[in-house]
Amino acid sequence: MSPSLSDLGWSSHFAAQHAAEPSLLPFRIAAVHRDRLIGLSQEGETPLLSPDQSTGAFAVGDWVLTDENKRVRSVLERRSLLQRRAAGTGVAAQLIAANVDVLFIVSSCNADFNLPRLERYLALAHQAGSYPVIVLTKSDTCDNAIAYVEQAQSLAPFLTVLAVNALDQSDIEQVLSWCPKGQTSALVGSSGVGKTTLANGMTGQDQATAGIREDDARGRHTTTARALNRMSNGGWLIDTPGMRALRLLDAQEGVDEVFSDISDLSLNCRFSDCQHDTEPGCAIQASIESGALDPARLDRWRKLRREDQHNSASVAQARARDKAFGKMVRSVMHEKKSRKGL
Ligand SMILES: Nc1nc2c(ncn2[C@@H]2O[C@H](COP(=O)(O)OP(=O)(O)OP(=O)(O)O)[C@@H](O)[C@H]2O)c(=O)[nH]1
Ligand SMILES: [Zn+2]
């Protein structure tokens, strides 16, 4: 049975945009390949043509409008967007997933549990515009899961933290309840924390073998990884290799939101460029002295900001370099042409 548009996550936010171009057809992007896109609609899975043969401008979870030839005409404004620095040269931004309502941040009640890492993922969720839910797996293997939950909850007011056994279906139901029918989620976390186990439990299928069967250009059957998966409660789970290694990109706002206590304090420092070290009138140092602020938290904030500034700077540099290179190519071509003209 094919899902309706609202089952697929369609909402008034997208309907309002579609109203401007009612003759075009809406699809949700279920997979992004190098040269083509797979869209989902009431009619099931459909290969879509990207406007310029490239697919870098699309993310799994995007809503697009196509003409009757299934050529994409526009991407609807996103509710949220997860992106990262591209692997390899590591400078260009790469779109990972769009319109993710809930980001499940997965860690476990053991050695993987690490507050700075959780903070980093929280910053990422805030930056993307997704609602964060922390899921601590392997609660069945430790005596004091509640202590882990309390530590995680200390990171932000009203933060949702669940302790679960990912192998237990009733615990999976508890996770699912945070992403009901028509909503979309994704899982992030380190290797081995139980993302695959959770994904299998949430979708009721083995993610390693689930896939989209397609006929390629030569008529051969191929199976490609499915990236937008229906969960057993009617919600959706975006699971792609890119989801597994997210880094912070241009996440300054996200970092400041997670550390809002520190950024608020810094507004009271005497100097607007206060480095919060030895400057007189530093509100942050005063707060540490009074015992209100944990100095370790200040260190983590500094580290995240440094990392973020480094990432953003190298992306900006790469963009500038690409621009300069493009300019150089154009001027060489221009010269060639004008020489030919002589
Ligand atoms: N007892 C127990 N074992 C768990 C739990 N969650 C995961 N495991 C086990 O932990 C191991 C790793 O789980 P995976 O689901 O493969 O972890 P992952 O995050 O997908 O790891 P990568 O594929 O490397 O990213 C498996 O043997 C799981 O069976 C849990 O809540 N309780
Ligand atoms: Zn200061």
DSSP letter assigned to residue 171: H
CATH code for 252-341?
A: 1.10.40.50
Q: Which residues contact 165 (CB under 8 A, 6 or more apart)?
A: 137, 138, 139, 140, 171
Q: Which residues contact 28 (CB under 8 A, 6 or more apart)?
A: 8, 9, 10, 39, 40, 41, 61, 62, 63, 64, 228
| CATH top class, domain 12-75 | mainly beta
For the whole model, what pTM was predicted? 0.76
Q: Is the CB of 138 under 6 A from ligand 1?
A: yes
pLDDT of residue 166: 96
Q: Which residues contact 332 (CB under 8 A, 6 or more apart)?
A: none
d(CA 329, CA 316): 20
- Strand ranges inside 109-239, DSSP E: 131-137, 160-163, 184-189, 212-215, 221-224, 228-230, 236-238
**SS3 of residue 89 by DSSP:** coil
Would you say 142 is a known binding-site residue?
Answer: no
pLDDT of residue 181: 95
d(CA 50, CA 46): 13
Strands 236-238 and 228-230: antiparallel
pLDDT of residue 190: 81
Q: For 220-271, what is each residue's pLDDT tens digit?
A: 444 455 689 999 999 999 988 777 666 544 455 567 767 888 888 999 999 9
pLDDT tens per residue, the chain (342 residues)? Answer: 578 899 999 999 999 999 999 999 999 999 998 888 999 999 889 999 988 878 889 999 999 999 999 999 999 999 999 987 655 555 567 788 999 999 999 999 988 888 878 888 888 898 899 999 999 999 999 999 999 999 999 988 889 999 999 999 999 999 999 999 999 999 988 888 899 999 999 999 775 544 444 444 444 444 455 689 999 999 999 988 777 666 544 455 567 767 888 888 999 999 988 999 999 999 999 999 999 999 988 988 888 777 767 666 666 666 666 566 556 556 655 665 565 554
pLDDT of residue 342: 46
Q: Is the CB of 141 under 6 A from ligand 1?
A: yes
d(CA 41, CA 8): 8
Q: What does the domain layout of the chain look like in residue ranges? A: 12-75, 81-245, 252-341
- Please give the ipTM for the structure prediction: 0.95
How many angstroms is it from 198 CA to the middle of ligand 1?
Answer: 8
pLDDT of residue 331: 62
**Is it true that 12-75 and 81-245 share their CATH fold?**
no
Sign of CA dihedral 230, 82, 126, 137: positive
For residues 16-55, one letter each, b for 16 or more C-beta atoms within 10 angstroms of the residue's C-beta and e for the rest, the string is ebbeeeeebbbbbbbbbeeeebbbbbeeebeebebeeeeb
Burial tier of 342 (Cβ tally within 10 Å: 0-12, 13-18, 19+) = exposed
Pull the structure tokens for residue 260. 């809002």
pLDDT of residue 145: 94
Q: Which long-range contacts (CB under 8 A, 24 or more apart) does 315-318 make?
A: 315/85, 315/91, 315/92, 315/93, 315/249, 315/250, 317/91, 318/89, 318/91, 318/92
User: Which ligand 1 atom lies nearest to the CA of residue 166?
Assistant: 31
Q: Is the CB of 140 under 6 A from ligand 1?
A: yes
Neighbours of ion ligand 2 (CB under 5 A): 269, 274, 276, 282, 284
Taking each helix axis from N to C terminus, what angle separates 145-153 and 115-128, rounded to the nearest 10 degrees? Answer: 50
d(CA 65, CA 316): 31
The candidate with the shortest Cα–Cα distance to 27, out of 51, 3, 5, is 5
pLDDT of residue 237: 96
Pocket probe mutation, ligand 1, options 135, 190, 197, 200, max atoms within 8 Å of Cβ: 197
Q: Which CATH number fits domain 81-245: 2.60.120.680, 3.40.190.10, 3.40.50.300, 3.30.390.10?
A: 3.40.50.300
Angle at 283 between CA 280 and CA 287, to 5 degrees: 120
pLDDT of residue 320: 67
Q: Which long-range contacts (CB under 8 A, 24 or more apart) does 15-20 make?
A: 17/76, 17/77, 18/65, 18/76
Q: Which residues contact 196 (CB under 8 A, 6 or more apart)?
A: 207, 208
Q: CA end-to-end span of the chain, whole Å?
A: 66
Pull the structure tokens for residue 203. 């979708």
